[in-house]
Amino acid sequence: MLPLFRLECFTSRLIKHECRVPALLAGTLLVFYVPEALAETLHVKTSTSSRFVKIQDAIDFAKDSDVILVGSGTFTENIDLLGKAVVIRSEFGAQATTIDGGKKGAVVRCASGERETSVIDGFTLTNGRGDIDFSARRGGGIFCVGSTPTIRNCWIVNNHTEGDRAWGGAVYLTESGPGTLILEGNVIADNSSYRVGGGLCLLGDAIVRNNKILRNSSLNGDGGGIYSPVGNIVLEENLIEGNVARDRAGGAYFLRPGPRQGAVTIFRNIIVSNTASTLFGEECGGGGLWLFGGTIEVRENTIAYNRATAANAFGGGGICVNEVRDPIVIERNIIYRNQEGGVDCWHCEQRQPILRRNILYANGVDEVLSEGSGVFDASENLFVDPMFCELPDNDFGSVAGASPALNQPYGTIGAVETPGCGPFIAVSVEETTWGGIKKLLSR
């Protein structure tokens, strides 16, 4: 009778799986290796002849490092990545492949510790209602709890969270842990939440880069485009346009009471035509940006045609700063034609934001206003026309070659391209109506 032997396996640094079994020959140890399974590409198609006709079926079957390639068509389902480090990619892009949540929950759920290697690439994500967190609907399009996937090249559109404490019409992130949510190259448009964060609700670390964040709404709260009360946030090279908050922050809301709540960098964004209705507060509204606390940098952005409305609001059509506890730096931005003021600081008696090397022009009541006895730490600001290029062809990223935004020793002001559209192609917009500007920007 042959003796029985115990199979001993371990993972080495160089070889994934190594197993050993004692040999029958005295003093000899046989070693053999079990190679790690190779990554596969799994195909999902609407055809009934396909191995997978549902994306979730492919996710269930997949292992880490697999690629799930999805064909064209509409897939009515709600998918859960189940913590797997897989790439889910559409074969022909967001215009051809849609995941429809059917108003049954979040279109995409990540709640099993997914990290940046879990990727959603190139889908339209629509008709999501959100999943339940703290007894409320959150994350109509994408729901992330304790997870930080990568979302790129997607159209996250027409998702809605309803109910008194509903947050994050398009994307909801909380408890990000050691990872960082990456949102890159997406269109995030026409989403809404009943309470806060019509577009994005970010309660964790995130990089938001090169997205179009358009026409999102918070129906009874703050942050039409973005709402973020905690986390390290990088907001870079986005177009944030046409978002509406019933209360504060039409474009983006960042509250950082102390350094433990994280730092915010807002760099080279175009923030235009957003509205804060300010119905519930008695402070500045922040049509473009609403900032509280500190450890916030706002650099090289173009902030134009935003509005802060309502009789009990106190300005801040472009930027509202509500109390400074740690440094808030507003530097080298174009702040242009915002209704009810360019920059307003509320409760700034003890400490003021740094307002430096900006262009502020034609911002209604006041270019710069500080409520109470506080004053801005302001230097080298210019109160001149930035000379944008011809409006019908301009996305507020182009100025004339002779613009003061391009000719400063400390570098470019605003999120504008160089060398500009020509030596003297400044255009007067004095006679352009607000309705005409909205029509141009809605194209």
Per-residue pLDDT of the chain (443 residues; tens, 9 = 90+): 444 434 444 433 333 444 444 444 444 445 444 455 688 999 999 988 889 999 999 999 999 999 999 999 999 999 999 999 999 999 999 999 999 999 999 999 999 999 999 999 999 999 999 999 888 999 999 999 999 999 999 999 999 999 888 999 999 999 888 899 999 999 999 999 999 999 999 999 999 999 999 999 999 999 999 999 999 999 999 999 999 999 999 999 999 988 788 999 999 999 999 999 877 766 788 999 999 998 999 999 999 999 998 655 567 899 999 889 999 999 999 999 998 889 998 887 788 899 999 999 999 877 887 654 455 667 789 999 999 987 555 668 888 888 999 989 999 999 998 777 755 433 333 333 334 333 433 44
Residue type for position 236:
E
Give the pLDDT of residue 421. Answer: 79
Q: Which two tokens stand for residue 28?
A: 């000899």
* Residue pair 399/413 in contact by the 8 Å Cβ criterion: no
Q: Which two tokens stand for residue 188?
A: 């995030």
Domain 40-220 has CATH 2.160.20: yes
Q: If you search the block for the tokens 């992130």, which residue do you land on?
A: 173
Give the pLDDT of residue 311. Answer: 52
Closest to 335 measured CA to CA, from 255, 438, 421, 415: 415
Residue 5: other Cβ atoms inside 10 A: 12
Give the pLDDT of residue 1. Answer: 43
Q: Which two tokens stand for residue 72?
A: 């064209």
Residue 41: other Cβ atoms inside 10 A: 10
Give the pLDDT of residue 347. Answer: 82
Write b or e for each residue in 152-186: b if 16 or more Cβ atoms lie within 10 A of its Cβ, otherwise e: bbbbbbbbbbbbebbbbbbbbbbebeebbbbbbeb
Give the pLDDT of residue 407. Answer: 84
Main-chain dihedrals φ then ψ at residue 435, nearest 5 degrees: -60, -35
- Total-model pTM: 0.86
Give the pLDDT of residue 256. Answer: 93
| DSSP for residue 138 | E
Q: Are strands 150-152 and 119-121 parallel, antiparallel or unpaired?
A: parallel
Residues pairing with 88 in the sheet:
68, 120
| DSSP for residue 112 | S
Write b or e for each residue in 252-280: b if 16 or more Cβ atoms lie within 10 A of its Cβ, otherwise e: bbbbbeeeebbbbebbbbbbbbbbbbbbe
